[in-house]
A and B are shown apart, each in its own frame.
Chain A
């Protein structure tokens, strides 16, 4: 737990990646820290989700922007994610904020449901 907090504190400054590979590595580092934080979020905020559901929720945010290759944009997205995770792990968010995050699914073409696909085909 303390090592995880140290890792997240080191993530806090808004680093500027020199290469696109470095920015990608930063995003993967953020994803790993998100997964490591799932047990602690469950305890701190008294959540009742499955860990696989929470992991898929984190993953959906990363899949949502998987077409982004510009390193400046990756840095901005990673910084937003790092700040959100740091605030959650530092108990600066309330339970309603965290529950709202996990209950709200991002709108993404890959995660669209079958019925919505059917409706889209119908409207075309």
Chain B
């Protein structure tokens, strides 16, 4: 019974934790461009990561760059965990605990996402 409940519930789409005010630029399709669905460009990863970090409550009003560390933004360890879970929801992946403990800046987040082929 519990198993069936979980199977049914897992199919329902869940709204993201952060409000989607960060609008992604639509990709202009052209006949010459063939989009590689297996990977995302580094610029897109960077923009989306900065968008997720900027939407966090304690980061509002501060400037986020690809080289910003979470400590510079005044975030503690629990805030880093919040942001990493939000990044997981944004890219549709699950960051292992060993990797999540090592990530302390936007650059490390971006480099990890670049290594992850399942990010969407």
Contact = CB atoms under 8 A, between A and B. Distances in A.
Interface of A: 1-3, 5, 25, 28-29, 31-32, 35-36, 38-40, 43-44, 51-52, 55, 59, 62-63, 90-91
Given A28-B77, A28-B101, A3 B6 contact: no
B82 interface: yes
B2 A40 contact: no
Chain B binding surface, main DSSP class: helix
Contacts of A39: 14-15, 17
A32 B81 contact: yes
A63 B78 CA distance: 9
B94 interface: yes
Contacts of B84: 32
Interface of B: 2, 5-6, 9-10, 12, 14-15, 17, 57, 77-78, 81-82, 84-85, 88, 94, 97, 100-101
A122 B101 CA distance: 44
Contacts of A25: 97, 101
Given A25-B101, A63-B78, 18 more contacts: A1-B9, A2-B10, A3-B94, A5-B6, A28-B78, A28-B81, A28-B101, A31-B81, A32-B84, A32-B85, A35-B82, A40-B14, A43-B14, A44-B9, A55-B17, A55-B82, A62-B78, A91-B2
Chain A binding surface, main DSSP class: helix
B67 to A, nearest CB: 24
Contact of A91 (B5, B77, B82, B94): B5
A67 to B, nearest CB: 14
Contact of A59 (B6, B78, B101): B78
A29 B9 contact: no
B40 to A, nearest CB: 21
B30 to A, nearest CB: 37
A91 B17 CA distance: 22
B97 A35 contact: no
A5 B9 CA distance: 13
A59 B75 CA distance: 13
A29 B5 contact: no
A108 to B, nearest CB: 14
Contacts of B100: 28, 32
A28 to B, nearest CB: 6
